[in-house]
A and B are shown apart, each in its own frame.
Chain A
Amino acid sequence: MTRHRKRLKLGILGAVTAAVALTACSPSGDGGGETTEATQGGEAVFAIDTPIIGLDPNVTPAAQDARVMRQVFDNLVAFDANGELIPWLATGWELSDDGLEYTFTLRDDVTFHDDTPFNGEAVCFNLDRIKDPVTASMYAASLIGPYASCVAPDETTAIVRVAEPFAPFMATLTSPFLSLVSPTAAAAVDAADFNLKPVGSGPYVIESYTPQDRVELVANENYNWAPGSANHQGRAYLDRITFQIVPDATVRLGSLRSGGFQAVGNVPETEAQGVEQDPGLEFVAQSQSGAPFQYHFNSEHPPFDDPTVRAALRQGFDIESAVSALYLGVYERAWGPLSPTTYDYDENRVSAFDFDPEAAAAALEGAGWELGADGIREKAGQKLSARMLELTPNREKRQDLAEFFKANMKDIGVDIQLEFKQSAGLLQAGQEGDYDILTLSLVNVDPNVLYSLYAPEQIPVPESPGFNYTRVAEPELSSLLLRAQQELDPATRTALHEEIQADIVENARSIAVYVPTYTMATNGIQGLRFDAEGYPVWYDVSIAN
């Protein structure tokens, strides 16, 4: 199994003034097996478990869509294996001193799959299209933050203005959700049709997409603009990649073993060991950057407004045992609000607290919560009870995890009222604040995910979804979050992020449980890489001889 968790500081963006700095993972897993000289040709079938929603990066929000989009589209910039921002379709970029104007210099030799030339107009078209409410962008719009305007003075220049300094901007430009579509193709057809068969400039072209069944990609013969993070130049090695939707894990793995598939996604934890021991197969696990899976305490609901009570619950939860028992070593246990592969991840949060049910019980005792006759603590006639909502119980054994937590809590005299809901009813309760504990994990390439999780503007209310499930709105933390979002000096920004992580962990605002990890198994291919967000990159993949 290849897992890379290097954290490398990175320098300045381009040749310029202020810049974004980052520490990131180097997910350059090559499958770990014997690699042979890459040869051109061949086909591969990648069996995925979740149906595609759409393939227009400006519109769609789903991770399974990004796994296809990554092969079809290019970005302005990319992260290399060391976590440094490198040129892709943009050869250079400058940020004005006030942090409001980005000037991108663009390649002049790039064409989209429909032969539309890539230029400054194309960049502006994409950004404007994302911002236009008619597009109804479900995710990209939130990534470009305070984007204001874009002008293209000539073919190879795009000048992008933001309304206020927005430090995550360059990093988020690497995301598959901000990859670039052909302006002529997007303007020519209905948005719904474009979502089925969008046109990019990437190494693979969408040949066909059959909803509920498969997406067929064929190599772009003209491709010659891979970023420096790629291991070769020119067209992709494989002639064809088929993304086939196969919901059943047993069928996915069986067909992989029998050679029908060359790669499968989402290997069940129970199968991971078998795959690793199979000499014909490779097992790959890529932890996702962003926020790990966390239990968020609703700080508007007493007694969970009290850090002592929250910390006691956390101390009484045997996270280590829960994670190793349920995920069998495939998923890593988390400690703080950032995943280890996210830059500015603060290692000092590791082991910042321990599992000690006696100390937890004593802390609750100290806070006035006395054990009642039924084994549940109470204070002034009030039971120590929490309504916990698990909205995605079928994902990654989260239901079992919640039951584990409930049992641990019972041991220290806390009653957990578990409710498992599919996504429908959940958001309503979440938006109305009608819960004590709510769970969530979030993928993001930038530590700005902290802002999404803890800024007061992100508290979900009816008509305005958000991810601040802790509903915290403390001025000091809020100001740190805003400053981190706007701070353009990398070192200062890192320090701010570390302060925020310390605040979250010290005040036990959330309990971080495990790091979501995308697992794959492959048979007979080599050269698979992952981008900074953790999406597989098929460009360098070839048939292993």
Chain B
Amino acid sequence: MGFVILKRILIGIPTLIGVTIILFLTLRVLPGDPVSVMLAGAPSTPEVVAQLRLDFGLDRPVLAQYWDFFTRALRLDFGESYATRRPVSTMIGEQVLPTLQLAVAAAAVSALVGIVLGSISAMYRNRWVDSLIRVVSLINLSMPSFWVGLMLIILFSFTLRLLPATGNAGLASLVLPAVTLGLSAAGTVTRLVRNSVLEVLGENFVTALYAKGLPRRTVVAKHVLRNAIIPTVTIVGLQLGALIAGAVIVEAVFARRGIGQMLVQAIAGQDFPVVQGVVLVIAVIYIAINIVVDVSYAYIDPRVRDAVQA
């Protein structure tokens, strides 16, 4: 078991180094000069330009800049933001938690909605309930999250006045963004759960359970779902990574803090250290989630656990 985790972590290291190289070079190859962008709003003096270049180490060769970035990143030091001149690690520290909260809450919404609807859909296969759920998931999949977010705000904040439209204070402000982001992912989970449940329902042991006289609800809830849930865990896990990246739009609609918003602004302003820091943090989270997903199989499915131990 421990060996599996270690192996997964070791594989993650070259992936991360690859991310740093691609990231660093892409930013440098793009046209434009960060100091000019920073000064775009104002005429400046050559002395100021020179000072800024010196401050940010932009006067040094690219390779030296990369090595600097790499060795500092190992110590979680991503340098200073060009725009705010504050340490990037501090800035990420301020913003990463709201984004993680949002992504985790959204993944929970997506899993809950997907498992419940997917199971019902499978149980009533080809009946009107099934059709309705399938149509609704398809519609949901095709709706852009900024639109869904606005509709939820108009309904629950402006009309019913039940939940705050914007802000970062408390659980209440997390509900609408999490539902918006979660719904965007729920459609996929619903379809997946429906298919796996149907697959498991066709197996012999299920027929045996029915033969024992167990009611359908018990069969599905206790025996079928447990077997059907493995692919769902993979998808929800992978979705969590995508949800962190997808949080950008939802963060903008609900005026939430987060690394998504920070990244978008940093890209527009060519704030290299911030872009590097945020993308690296997202990459680490992604890789970590993948490891957790792999390991969690073992706990859900004894067969995987046995295979690993053997």
A residues adjacent to B (C-beta < 8 A) = 47, 51, 53-54, 61-63, 133-134, 136-139, 141-142, 191-193, 195-196, 210-213, 244-248, 250-251, 254-255, 257-258, 260, 422-428, 431, 452, 458, 463-467
Contacts and interface: CB of A to CB of B under 8 A. Distances in A.
Contact of B84 (A47, A133, A142, A192): A192
A138 B84 contact: no
Given A195-B85, A427-B32, A458 B43 contact: yes
Interface residues of B, number: 56
A426 B166 contact: no
Nearest to A257: B158
Contacts of A133: 47-48, 50-51
A436 to B, nearest CB: 19
Nearest to B31: A425
Given A195-B84, A211-B94, A426 B32 contact: yes
A278 B282 CA distance: 45
B44 A141 contact: yes
Contacts of B43: 142, 452, 458, 465-467
A213 B168 CA distance: 8
B259 to A, nearest CB: 9
Nearest to B56: A136
B30 to A, nearest CB: 7
B48 A260 contact: no
Contacts of B95: 211-212
A136 B51 contact: yes
Nearest to B32: A424
Contacts of B158: 254-255, 257-258
Contacts of B154: 254
A258 B154 CA distance: 10
Contacts of A136: 48, 51-52, 55, 85
**Nearest 7 interchain pairs by C-beta:** A424-B32, A139-B42, A425-B31, A427-B36, A246-B255, A192-B85, A61-B41
Given A210-B257, A467-B43, 11 more contacts: A138-B44, A141-B45, A142-B42, A142-B43, A251-B150, A251-B165, A254-B153, A258-B165, A260-B165, A426-B40, A458-B43
Nearest to B159: A258
A245 B255 contact: yes
12 contacts: A136-B85, A138-B44, A141-B48, A192-B87, A248-B255, A254-B157, A257-B158, A258-B161, A260-B164, A425-B32, A426-B32, A465-B36
B38 to A, nearest CB: 7
A427 B37 contact: yes
Interface of B: 30-33, 36-52, 55, 80, 83-87, 91, 94-95, 146, 150, 153-154, 157-158, 161, 164-168, 252-258, 261-262, 265, 268-270
A54 B91 CA distance: 13
Nearest to B154: A254
B46 A244 contact: no
B256 to A, nearest CB: 8
A138 B38 contact: yes
Contacts of B157: 254-255, 258, 260
A61 B253 contact: no
A195 B81 CA distance: 13
A463 B41 CA distance: 15
Nearest to A430: B36
A53 B166 contact: no
Of A192, A248, A422, chain B has the most CB atoms within 10 Å of the CB of A248
Nearest to B150: A250
A463 B59 CA distance: 12
Contacts of A463: 46, 49
B32 A247 contact: no
A424 B270 contact: yes
Contacts of A422: 268
A347 B21 CA distance: 57
Contacts of B270: 423-424
Contacts of A195: 84-86
A27 B41 CA distance: 24
A176 B115 CA distance: 56
A53 B154 CA distance: 30
Contacts of A423: 32, 37, 40, 268-270
Contacts of B166: 47, 244, 246, 251, 255, 260
Nearest to B167: A244
B94 to A, nearest CB: 6
Contacts of B150: 248, 250-251
B252 A248 contact: yes
Contacts of B164: 260
A425 B268 CA distance: 10
Contact of B36 (A141, A431, A458): A431
B33 to A, nearest CB: 7
A424 B52 contact: no
Contacts of B48: 133, 136-138, 141
Of A212, A255, A258, A422, chain B has the most CB atoms within 10 Å of the CB of A212
A211 B91 contact: yes
Contacts of B40: 423, 426-427, 465
A456 B45 CA distance: 14
A260 B173 CA distance: 13
A295 B39 CA distance: 21
Contacts of B86: 192-193, 195-196
A274 to B, nearest CB: 14
